[in-house]
């Protein structure tokens, strides 16, 4: 039985991840930590969690805790992760892995030093629909992949327009703007499909002037296997301009799907046009947590690790590098 502790029991843990730790076989959520102990106690009561902490160090050093899930904003990921690894416990980190690639490297160095694994919540590497897309590509359903196109357009929130800014657009806490929160899933999935990126060209802007972080980006990406792609992200469009589209083009067809809205996967090939359901589980992190638990038991491996996640952070840093002076 793997006993888990969560550091930071905010919104992401309510449905996406938290309940899955006790639903996966041989896994249990034993403790939660939040600086506001009353909120931690409320979470624990609603989710039937036995232990509550308001101090992360105490949770990390609880002898009954086998592994720790860090679900705080990225600005604190490296500190908590390294402390957990130093305590000899595996760590599962919300994405992005840290605010920048440099911090990811430090986490992975600690993992190697203390001989303890790191996993990161890029759960699309384990979701059935996204695995189906990967399988079709590998089986030649659309022939040789030539390139992909990505568009993610979202309107600014009412809070952002009113100047009540969330942590997700504070680069010190998140690494950048919404790009780091959302595009990280997409870039990590492309790494899973096509391998590491070898070349990046980008343009980064702030059109909305609602916050200091970037709100528009376009990037040209080239992968080690020769696949190329163009991504465009905008976070200040009108509501009518919302888009969540990925299209992978091969020399014998194409696959079209969404990242976040879980619309049907549309495949165009010599056999015609077919659609298939892109399953959205009740708890979207369930399948990845299941893989991680099996890995901790020595019965399998995880598709998302500190090594793979660090590559995603490196690409994001390369895309926004000039904007933030990181180059």
Each domain of the chain, given as residue ranges in start order, spans 2-122, 128-280
Q: 66, 89 in Cβ contact below 8 A? A: yes
The owner of tokens 């939040």 is 34
Q: 204, 322 in Cβ contact below 8 A? A: yes
pTM reported for the whole predicted model: 0.96
Note the pLDDT of residue 325: 82
Note the pLDDT of residue 327: 60
Residue 47, classified by CB atoms within 10 Å of its CB into exposed (0-12), middle (13-18) or buried (19+), is middle
Distances (CA, A) of 219 to 187, 250, 317, 319: 11, 20, 12, 7
Note the pLDDT of residue 40: 95
Q: 154, 242 in Cβ contact below 8 A? A: yes
DSSP-H helix ranges across 8-155? 11-14, 20-23, 37-47, 56-60, 77-86, 101-114, 128-138
Q: 197, 315 in Cβ contact below 8 A? A: yes
- Cα angle, residue 292 at apex, residues 291 and 297 outer, rounded to 5°: 100
Q: What are phi and psi of 285, to 5 degrees?
A: -90, 0
Strand-pair partners of 272:
269
CATH class of 2-122: alpha beta
Among 69, 66, 70, 93, which Cα is nearest to 3's? 66
The owner of tokens 């009540």 is 164
Strand-pair partners of 152:
233, 244
Note the pLDDT of residue 24: 98
Mean pLDDT per 10-residue segment, the chain (327 residues): 96 96 98 95 97 98 98 98 98 98 98 98 98 97 97 97 96 96 98 98 97 98 96 97 98 98 96 94 97 97 98 98 83
Give the right CATH number for 128-280 from 3.30.70.20, 3.30.360.10, 3.20.20.70, 3.40.50.2300. 3.30.360.10
Among 239, 217, 228, 227, which Cα is nearest to 161's? 239
Note the pLDDT of residue 326: 67
């Amino acid at each position: 039985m793997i006993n888990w502790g969560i550091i930071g029991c905010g919104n992401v843990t309510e449905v996406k991840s938290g309940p899955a730790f006790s639903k996966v076989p041989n896994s249990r959520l034993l403790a939660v930590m939040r600086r506001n102990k009353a909120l931690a106690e409320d979470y624990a009561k609603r989710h039937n969690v036995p232990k509550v902490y308001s101090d992360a160090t105490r949770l990390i050093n609880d002898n009954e805790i086998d592994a720790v899930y860090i679900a705080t904003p990225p600005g604190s990921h490296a500190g908590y992760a390294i402390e957990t690894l130093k305590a000899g416990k595996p760590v599962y980190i919300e994405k992005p892995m840290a605010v920048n690639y440099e911090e990811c490297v430090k986490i992975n160095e600690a993992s190697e030093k203390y001989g303890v694994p790191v996993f990161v919540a890029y759960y699309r590497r384990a979701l059935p629909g996204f695995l189906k897309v990967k399988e079709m590509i590998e089986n030649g359903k659309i022939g040789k992949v030539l390139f992909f196109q990505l568009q993610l357009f979202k309107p600014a929130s009412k809070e952002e327009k009113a100047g009540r800014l969330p942590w997700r657009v504070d680069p010190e806490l998140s690494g950048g703007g919404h790009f780091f929160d959302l595009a990280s899933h997409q870039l990590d999935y492309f790494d899973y499909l096509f391998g590491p990126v070898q070349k990046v060209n980008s343009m980064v802007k702030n059109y909305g002037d609602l916050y200091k972080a970037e709100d528009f980006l376009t990037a040209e990406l080239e992968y080690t296997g020769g696949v190329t792609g163009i991504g465009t992200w905008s976070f200040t469009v009108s509501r009518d301009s919302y888009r969540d589209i990925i299209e992978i083009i091969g020399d014998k067809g194409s696959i079209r799907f969404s990242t976040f809205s879980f619309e049907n996967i549309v495949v165009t090939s010599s056999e015609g046009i077919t659609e298939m359901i892109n399953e959205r589980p009740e708890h979207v992190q369930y399948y990845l947590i299941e893989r991680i638990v099996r890995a901790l038991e020595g019965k399998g491996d995880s598709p998302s690790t500190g090594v793979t996640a660090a590559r995603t952070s490196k690409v994001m840093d390369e895309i926004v590098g000039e904007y933030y002076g990181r180059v």
